[in-house]
Amino acid sequence: MELTTWRQLCDRGRDLVLCLDFPGGRAAAGFADLAAGAPVELCFLHIAWSGLHADSRLDAHIAQWVGEALASRRPVRAVLGFCAGTALATRVADAVSATAGATPPAVLLFDAAAVPDAALRDQFVSAVQASAPYLADGELDDARQWSRELLATGRDDLPRVATALVDRYDQLMSGIADRLSLGEVLRRELTDGFAAYMAYLLLAAQGGLDLRAGTPMFLSSRDHRPPVDTARGMSFGVDRERLLGDADVWRVVAGVLDEARP
């Protein structure tokens, strides 16, 4: 299967399982672990996100993602989302369900999270704070205060907010690169990775945790509480970092996907 907006995790069957999560460098278990461990004969695809897309409208991305998946002429059995990706998974599932002749896919949301406007600012602060030992005196406090004021005046124009956050992050990383004599390539990689994550959150902020038809299933780690009332939900005694790598979770997912067989 030739893909541009998805990457294949495994191909053990005809039906597709679409997985939505930011593909950045996270040490926690991911959908690749779930795809490898779940005892199901299905083809798992993960969104191939680079952030390099001129259109910041979620509808445009959904049309591209779903269009490529359906062009394979393989039925979509389920759509899975993790964290902010849950707000995207529901919209992908809605688009699949709206296709003539399509069977509505099962929708499984892991540690579901709505993405409020403040999420972009919060992630900027977290990213800058991670580099705190290398910042000049006062830069962290200045970045916190500046980003707070930016969000307060720009909630109605989140793309502008995201662009400004990326520019400020790039400025801070440039200062660190100069002080530590780091190469331009490394600085650019840091900024590009942050920009891709901001673009991803910007899309997720346009989504939600509801479905037009049906009810998603919420699967949560030990300390997670879904931000909405859930008619279908399960909590597992594992930390967030191991949720997608837990054998009990794999078995539950396999049971749900088998029940969703047309």
Degrees, nearest 5: CA angle 13-18-23: 120
Report the pLDDT value the prediction gives residue 55, as an integer from 0 to 100: 74
Distances 13 to 45, 92, 114, 150, 191 between C-alpha atoms, Å: 12, 21, 32, 48, 38
Q: Which of 93, 101, 123, 145 is nearest to 22 (CA)?
A: 123
Contact yes or no for 34/3 (Cβ under 8 A) = no
Q: Could you say which residues of the chain have pLDDT below 50? A: none
DSSP notation for the chain: ---SSEEEEEESSSSEEEEE---S--SS--HHHHHHHS----EEEEE---S--S---HHHHHHHHHHHHHHTT--EEEEEEEGGGHHHHHHHHHHHHTSTTPPPPEEEEES-----THHHHHHHHHHHHHTGGGSPTTHHHHHHHHHHHHHHHHTT-HHHHHHHHHHHHHHHHHHHHHHHT--HHHHHHHHHHHHHHHHHHHHHTT--S--SSS-PEEEE-TT---SS--SSEEE-SS-GGGGGG-HHHHHHHHHHHHHT--
Q: What's residue 54's pLDDT?
A: 60
Who contacts 214 (Cβ-Cβ below 8 Å, separation ≥6)? 97, 104, 107
Which tokens go with 116?
């409020």
What's the one-letter identity of residue 164?
Answer: A
First to last CA, the chain: 22
**Tens-place pLDDT, residues 45-71:** 999 987 656 678 899 999 999 999 999
Q: Whole-prediction pTM value?
A: 0.92
pLDDT for position 53: 60
Would you state the pLDDT for residue 14? 95
> Tokens 């541009």 appear where?
4
